[in-house]
């Protein structure tokens, strides 16, 4: 996951996924694989594309109301949002990857 070209100007930025975010992506990939294995691959590719957009424009996604410094970038082809923040070390921390119909406040607190 999070495949980047090695010659990309942002390749030195460290991207960190929390255990919750990894689990979120794995569960979604499993769900889509049960429908069609190609959907699972497309989902993973869309996660990667969204993270690349976040890296290029870290302040481009709107802030999440009620959560200091947390932003949500929407995926283009799937109804998911990537919740992330920049750390003081300028790393990109992906906190959760959640379906748009999921109650986000409860999932982000835990």
Per-residue pLDDT tens digits for 48-87: 999 999 988 888 899 998 888 899 999 999 999 999 998 8
pTM for the predicted model, two decimal places: 0.83
How confident is the model over 24-31, as a mean pLDDT? Answer: 96
Indicate the pLDDT class of residue 12, thresholds 50, 70 and 90: low
100 vs 87: CA distance, rounded Å? 24
pLDDT at 5 over 80: no
Beta strand residue intervals within 1-110, DSSP E: 15-17, 71-74, 80-86, 92-99
The reported pLDDT for the residue numbered 90 is 74
């Amino acid at each position: 996951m999070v495949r980047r070209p090695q010659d990309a100007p942002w390749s030195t930025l460290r991207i960190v996924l929390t255990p919750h975010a990894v689990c979120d992506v794995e569960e979604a990939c499993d769900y889509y694989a049960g429908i069609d294995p190609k959907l699972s691959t497309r989902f993973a590719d869309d996660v990667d594309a969204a993270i690349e957009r976040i890296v290029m424009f870290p302040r481009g996604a709107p802030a999440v109301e009620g959560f200091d410094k947390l932003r949500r970038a929407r995926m283009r082809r799937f109804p998911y949002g990537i919740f992330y923040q920049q750390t003081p070390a300028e790393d990109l921390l992906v906190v959760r990857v959640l379906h748009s119909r999921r109650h986000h406040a409860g999932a982000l607190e835990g």
